[in-house]
Chain A
Amino acid sequence: DTAVSQTPKYLVTQMGNDKSIKCEQNLGHDTMYWYKQDSKKFLKIMFSYNNKELIINETVPNRFSPKSPDKAHLNLHINSLELGDSAVYFCASSKKGGGRSRNEQFFGPGTRLTVL
């Protein structure tokens, strides 16, 4: 059983197109995330979202928008794709927990986006 799944695994598209990456988790978690890993392999948070709050990394262009149809899904929409958007995008989820709870994040397998 896949805990966090993403589709597609690979996405090749032309500059200027609009595309979406889907993410689903079956862990019953209430918080989901999107990360970007660029060619230099740095993994950077883009968004964190639960049903009450969206936290956006201020460096993320507004061409990127997360959309959550329900608690188990957080899809990433990207408008007007640019060459620099080429990267691997990872979805993750965690249980909301304050105090000393583990709060580990479970990551999906990644989506490799190539913009030509």
Chain B
Amino acid sequence: DAKTTQPPSMDCAEGRAANLPCNHSTISGNEYVYWYRQIHSQGPQYIIHGLKNNETNEMASLIITEDRKSSTLILPHATLRDTAVYYCIVRDYNYGQNFVFGPGTRLSVLP
């Protein structure tokens, strides 16, 4: 079972920031937070991951609360092509633990 909870759906206006929340209240000290997204009919795509510090890359920013029980993925300037299902996953950094995908959040970017 997924260890995360996410809202089932969200809308965002094109050009605005999309903030996708994720709760992972049972996260352990060895577990990273990963974000993937799946654009319709394609394979999931890695976005970003982090342990406890905030992270930023060319795709997004990841904000993790100090207690690590929740996080937010930020797409700073959403475009129509960002419409997808976004999955928040916690995974032990010890190699061998598989990714467990929950239902994710369906983000619709509206023109």
A42 contacts B43, C-beta separation under 8 Å: no
Contact of A4 with B43 in the complex, beta carbons under 8 Å: yes
B54 to chain A, nearest CB (A): 16
Interface assignment of B75: CB less than 8 Å from any CB of chain A? no
Given known contacts A42-B103, A99-B93, A100-B51, is B98 in contact with A33 (CB within 8 Å)? yes
Q: Which of A43, A48, A97, A98 contacts B44 (CB 8 A)?
A: A43
Measured CB to CB, the closest approach of chain A to B28, in angstroms, equals: 15
- Flag whether B85 is at the interface (Cβ < 8 A): yes
* Interface size range of chain B in the complex: 20 to 34
How many residues of chain A get a CB closer than 8 Å to chain B's CBs? Answer: 28
Q: Which of A33, A43, A97, A110 has the most C-beta atoms of chain B within 10 angstroms of its own C-beta?
A: A43
Interface residues of A in 32-77 (CB under 8 A from B): 33, 35, 41-45, 48, 55
Do B101 and A96 have beta carbons less than 8 Å apart?
A: no
Residues of A within 8 A of B (CB): 4, 33, 35, 41-45, 48, 55, 88, 90, 92, 96-110
